[in-house]
Amino acid sequence: MLRLGEPTAIIRLGAEATIYTLNWNGIELVAKRRIPKIYRHPLLDKEIRMQRTASEARIISEAKKHGVACPVVILVDLEDATIYMQRIRGVEARNIIGNLNQEALSLLARQVGVLTGMLHNGGIAHGDLTLSNVIVDEQMNPYLIDFGLATFTKDIEEFAVDIHLLDRSLQSTHYGVRDRFMQHFLEGYKTVLGDMIHEVLEKVKEIKSRGRYVERGTRKR
């Protein structure tokens, strides 16, 4: 176990992991530590947390290689199931998009679309693509964060799930800007994926239709 420093502030305290800041040789870092689960056998629990930590670190590093703006991994401590990475200073996109003018909103959406296209083009599905996992810095540059549910894949449906999830999150939290955001998001996405976008959007439609079917079935009960 190698701790780079003591926590200075908790950013997120989730069921799976604690995310906190720390100071290391005058540099502010973010650490993500997967929490032990007492309901699992200790050896199995450690193995699962180590595997998931290693996988997430690999995915972040691979995303970087494909040009995705995301934190730089500084150190991975598998024994402690902890990833130490660059801290991106900024705010969650969900907290600002309701206050942006149309030009700024369109530009941000297009940039997020480009980042998502780069991610998918690199064979990675984010798994939790919502505006809570997009950090925007002072220059209005977006960064993707939290790759805990991300996977290496070439499955078009996995990419479609990312887009569907983003759309659904906007529908529930920022309905007034949803259409404009998604329009420009897809414009940016297409600049990277080109004609492949049509396959992805067909899958998005399919996923939406499944959801409507389930909702109708639930109401009938």
Which band of pLDDT confidence, cut at 50, 70 and 90, is reported for residue 2? low
d(CA 38, CA 21): 25
Q: Is the pLDDT of residue 27 over 90?
A: no
Encode pLDDT of 124-142 as tens digits: 999 999 999 999 999 999 9
**Superfamily of domain 91-220 in the CATH hierarchy:** Transferase(Phosphotransferase) domain 1 (1.10.510.10)
Q: Is the pLDDT of residue 220 over 70?
A: no
Encode pLDDT of 51-81 as tens digits: 999 999 999 999 999 999 999 999 999 999 9
Name the residues annotated as catalytic.
Answer: 128
At 213 the pLDDT is: 38
d(CA 150, CA 165): 13
Which is more confident, 43 or 4? 43
Q: At a CB cut-off of 8 Å and minimum separation 6, what does 30 contact?
A: 11, 19, 20, 21, 22, 71, 84, 85, 86, 87, 88
d(CA 153, CA 36): 27
User: Which fold does the domain 7-86 belong to in CATH?
Assistant: Phosphorylase Kinase; domain 1 (3.30.200)
In the chain, which segments carry CATH 3.30.200.20?
7-86
d(CA 114, CA 40): 40
In the chain, which segments carry CATH 1.10.510.10?
91-220
Q: Is the pLDDT of residue 43 over 80?
A: yes
